[in-house]
Structure 1
Amino acid sequence: MKAGVTGWPIAHSLSPLLHTAWLEAAGLDATYDALPAETEADFDTLVARGRSGGLRGFNITAPWKERALAAADTVSDTARRAGSVNLLVFEDGHAVGDSTDGLGLVGALAEQAPALDLTGRPAVVLGAGGASRAAVVALIDAGAQVRIVNRSRDRAEALVAELGGVVMEAYEALQGAALVVNALSVRPDVDLSLLPDDAAVMDMTYRPLETPLLAAARERGLIGVDGLAMLIGQARPSFQALFGMAPPLVDVRAKALAHLGEAG
């Protein structure tokens, strides 16, 4: 059985390391590899391989999540709401699309901020791009009052009109917020002193693992939640869908940290 992860660039992805560790522990005769797709034609070729039985399925990262949504024959409600697919599984030529990114976010919070209760509390999402959408869906489903902060207000208002939440300026949004999620690829310019003392700050990126935002949050005494926890959190349900079993109990985080050259 062959599976993998596609995107461009993709050589840096830690997903093959995580899934291979689980496959080896489970003793499954299967592989999970990086599947480069630089162009739309490359991505479409992978989908064709899946439909013909050459691939069990694959995860999808930038820039192909929206194309994966269009390629799927059946799409989960979560993926439809998020507007993207990060997992395609093939059944007799039929492409089933899902999004496990929201599960990754919720899993990361449960692991690294277990006391955090979002019910009825404000949660701020920084950014209104593709990475933000799954976060907004997951946080709304968790009962949070979602506030969107984005440089382009029009884009943020379009996201809110479709998914829910409210668009706010950073100064107003951070006041009283239980959680801040950075879905931007750069360090945001936000004043963490506005947050209450029990707030958590999450950064979706994991290179570096301790981003400047997380370092500032911890210095402020806040709970930090890193992008590696989210990556592992979305990989677990992906493994289940691809290989038909829950991931074995392996410390994949330690393996990932060793690969990254960072301490746990």
Structure 2
Amino acid sequence: MSAPYAHVIGDPIAQSKSPLIHSFWLEKLGIGGRYKSKLVEATGLGSYLEKHRHDGSWIGCNVTMPHKQAILPHLDVLDPVAAKLGAVNTVVRLEDGALKGFNTDAGGFLEPLVPALKTEHLFRMARIIGTGGAARAIIAALADNGFTLVVAGRNPAKVRALLEELAPEGEHHSIPITHFAEPTDFDFDAREGCFDLVVNASPLGMEGSPALAFDWSHAPPGAIAYDIVTNPIITPFLEGARKAGHPTIDGLAMLIGQAAIAFERFFGAEPPREYDDELRDLLTK
């Protein structure tokens, strides 16, 4: 049998940074595996999976747009998190050829927040912009960690439906995305003992897309700005946050975090995270 290999599949796929990340870790660990990108169109998704489930060297694939939900009917079993979210970004081939779907987006998103989440807070609130696949994972993850959510999207009715599906408990709020565009004179109360997040879970600010219109008067003092966009690394959203004095987390944090979970499922080894700074340098070249 040849060396184990995995893919990241999507359409388009050339922009994916996953091959660089996984290949970097494979080289550092001296594991004789391969990880490459593969263009898979919507009409070819079923045939791709059927072909590879019978290949003993193929250990699975990461899944990006537009397949995260379309892939569900082709899988034999779903991890509970993936089943709850209704989206899969990691497929693992089991020994009998069965295909199991996972979603590592939630775990990857939470990774840089873990130290803060270990602290008890009087109140946790997150303002989230976006309603796509990544936003679904973020909404569910933050609700499960005790956050009250204010979710903004172009269609508030869609936002409300998402909250009812993914975070049915708690007093969460749906608002139009334009709400955050204009300045506010709201006087935030004392935030001692509170944990506030402002998350861009949309493609706004990505290269080739309009910037997210967000006025930082809507963010409480000390709120962490978290942008999941990875190109550019420092988005206008994060630039605005820094100018307003807010700590920031960039999209590479989630990208590397979710990849680390998938890597261990694929190759059975923990990625060498002591090289994260070197990996970040490679990803930003």
Q: Structure 2 length normalisation: TM-score?
A: 0.83
- Cα distance in 2 for partners of 1:117, 1:159 equals 27
Secondary structure of the corresponding residue to residue 12 of structure 1: coil
The residue that corresponds to 2:12 in the other structure is 9
* Residues 104, 230 of structure 1: 8 Å contact kept: yes
Q: Which residue type is aligned with residue 94 of structure 1? A: A
Change (3 A) 1:108 1:57: same
Cα pair distance change 1:135/1:259, threshold 3 Å: closer
Q: Deviation of residue 192 (structure 1)?
A: 1.1
In structure 2, distance between residues paired with 1:62 and 1:96: 18
Please show how residues 1-264 of structure 1 align to structure 2 within 5 Å: 1-37=4-40, 39-53=41-55, 54-91=57-94, 92-110=96-114, 120-164=123-167, 165-169=172-176, 170-171=179-180, 178-186=196-204, 187-261=211-285
- Percent identical across equivalent pairs? 34
Higher helix share: 1
Which entry has the higher C-alpha Rg, 1 or 2? 2
Q: Which moved more, 1:146-155 or 1:45-54?
A: 45-54
Q: Mind listing any 5+ residue stretches in structure 1 that lack a counterpart?
A: none
SS at match of 1:206: coil
Deviation >4 Å, runs of 4+: 113-119, 174-177
CA-based RMSD of the aligned residues comes to: 2.3
CA distance in 1 between partners of 2:160 and 2:263 (Å): 35
Cα pair distance change 1:163/1:65, threshold 3 Å: same
**1:250/1:19 CA distance change after superposition, 3 Å:** farther
Pairwise CA distance, 1:206: 0.8
Name the amino acid aligned to 2:174.
V
Q: How many residues align?
A: 258
For residues 206 and 213 of structure 1, what CA distance do their matches in structure 2 show? 12
What whole-Å deviation, never above 9, does each CA across 1:45-82 have from its counterpart, x for those lacking one?
32113311252101111111001223221111211222
Length-normalised TM-score, structure 1: 0.89
Gaps of 5+ in 2: 189-194, 205-210
Q: Which amino acid aligns with 1:129?
A: G
1:258: how far off? 3.2
